[in-house]
Structure 1
Amino acid sequence: MGTFLFDKIIFGPVQSRRLGISLGINLLPVNKKICTFDCIYCECGFNGDNASATTQMPSRLQVKTELETVLKQMQSKGQAPHVITFAGNGEPTIHKDFEGIINDTIVLRNAYFPEARIAVLSNATLIHKTSVYDALIKVDDNILKLDSGLEETIQVLDQPNPGFSLNELIDNLMKFNGQLIIQTMFVRGTYKGNQIDNTTDADIDSWLKLVKKASPKSVMIYTIERDTPVDGLVKIPLVELKKIARRVEDMGISTQVSG
């Protein structure tokens, strides 16, 4: 199936299923995905795609300059974003100046659209780093991935870099003391001839236990909407997603479902 890369540092604004009118920031190269996960459902494709491409991440100054330019344009047109979202072609917290860029973005947001929220979509693999933690604790929506409560499912679905530990991830999520949002992609299908499904009873029961342990302020439940790099993956019906959401809400945690 077809996938795509974001070809700009600042993209949008776009209508996001989960966040409303979102102005995106891509801290990764515009010609290649770079991520500590290699999710089989990622709309940006696999890390190995465009392997021969010469890549360069934008500098902190480039991000600040381009963001301010776009915010000025939006202000002059009366177009207010609901949220400024760090997403793009991979894991945004990889950028060496991530904390500084977050600080710059907060200053610009306050100057141009103080009502807008700042969100980061992250796979949470680098939250053990002090600078990443310090940056994420400052943003309005610290949205961190947890696709299953079973490490073997995560290994197939998310294909993390070597050294990934689900137990360590949960320990680090707990350090946010509830100042986080869990995001979970539910999907089923086949990959390399094997069945993949993170909606099984074993996956959901173990996932609920870890969600409770992480104690997020909310959970975002969603399924695939765009093309994926793997044929054979299918959306989870909305009725099933809502059943999962009710189990989260029974624990006193609010949910947002996107089918």
Structure 2
Amino acid sequence: MATFLFDKIIFGPVKSRRLGVSLGINLLPNDSKLCSFNCIYCECGWNPEKTFKVDFHPRSVVKERLEQKLNEMKEQAEAPDVITFAGNGEPCMHPEFAGIIDDTIEVRNRIFPKARIAVLSNATMIHKPDVFDALNKVEDNILKLDGGKEQTIIDLDQPVGTFNLERTVDLLSKFSGNLTIQTLFIKGEYNGKSIDNTSQEEIALWLEHLKKIQPREVMIYTISRDTPVDTLQKVDLPELERIASLVEQAGFSTQISG
């Protein structure tokens, strides 16, 4: 049941199970989650019940802290594999997200030009032209699609506001393959309702979405930390491998994190 928040703008580096040695950037408040989803499995817990004025980290401060940390790592001969936008919610909600991406590219190119830049996003902001363009500039544009059925995604991800799966798939396809799809597989129960996005029907529909989107890679994973809902179960590795084999048969490169 316990969850955690990132209490700094720049955190790590940490060994990521998906990305390697990752230096994290949290664009959201340090003391509260802020997200356009309220996923029942989120390691950061629930969104706050009450609305509040959001003080986003200023673009200039993010750049300053990133440059400082990368210079420290260079002095210590500790090179990151990737600089990852993640943190306490949806990074693309930051009003200066596009400018921050430009700053990050410029700083990365000066200090660690071989490091990749990654964004872990739930894809709810990709309708915004500046966000879409910014995501197209990074090496690892990693976007969420947690099921084949719209209702399944709503049950798992608890969108704040409306969610339209057909529109989301259409927007994801507009990246023309310059993206990675990440899907978290899970089973359990929430609010008296069975939760399972691994069924044959679910996977078949999800694969059809992938064929429309044409991602360069699909990341398949399950929960690895505490979640705000204690009736959820991680999917075992053989099941993830079965799903991955279906993805590969459909013609997509797959990465599994069990």
TM-score (structure 1 length as normaliser): 0.98
Q: Over the residues paired in the alignment, what is the CA RMSD in angstroms?
A: 1.0
> Post-superposition shift, 1:121?
0.2
Matching residue's letter, 1:39: C
> Post-superposition shift, 1:55?
4.4
Matching residue's letter, 1:98: F
Asked whether 1:188 is paired with 2:187, we answer yes
- Identity, in percent, stands at 60
CA deviations on 1:209-257 (whole Å, 9 max, x unpaired) are 0011100000000000000000111110000000100111011110000
Report the counterpart of residue 6 of structure 1 in structure 2: 6
Structure 1 CA distance for aligned equivalents of residues 148 and 158 of structure 2: 15
Structure 2 CA distance for aligned equivalents of residues 250 and 150 of structure 1: 21
Report the counterpart of residue 173 of structure 2 in structure 1: 174
Report the counterpart of residue 146 of structure 1 in structure 2: 145
Matching residue's letter, 1:74: M
Distance 1:225 1:214, change over 3 A: same
Report the counterpart of residue 111 of structure 2 in structure 1: 112
Distance 1:54 1:99, change over 3 A: closer
Structure 1 CA distance for aligned equivalents of residues 12 and 32 of structure 2: 19
Structure 2 CA distance for aligned equivalents of residues 46 and 109 of structure 1: 33
> Post-superposition shift, 1:48?
2.2
Structure 1 CA distance for aligned equivalents of residues 72 and 53 of structure 2: 31
Asked whether 1:251 is paired with 2:250, we answer yes
CA deviations on 1:43-77 (whole Å, 9 max, x unpaired) are 0001126x477642100001000000000000000
Q: Which runs of 5+ in 2 are unaligned?
A: none
Report the counterpart of residue 41 of structure 1 in structure 2: 41
Instruction: Judge conservation of contact 1:146–1:182 (CA < 8 Å) in 2.
Output: yes
SS state at 1:205 partner: helix
Matching residue's letter, 1:18: R
**Aligned 1:82-161 pairs, distance under 5 A:** 82-161=81-160
Instruction: Judge conservation of contact 1:31–1:53 (CA < 8 Å) in 2.
Output: no
Instruction: Judge conservation of contact 1:32–1:55 (CA < 8 Å) in 2.
Output: no
Structure 2 CA distance for aligned equivalents of residues 76 and 19 of structure 1: 23
> Post-superposition shift, 1:193?
1.7
CA deviations on 1:115-155 (whole Å, 9 max, x unpaired) are 10000000001101000001000000000000001001011
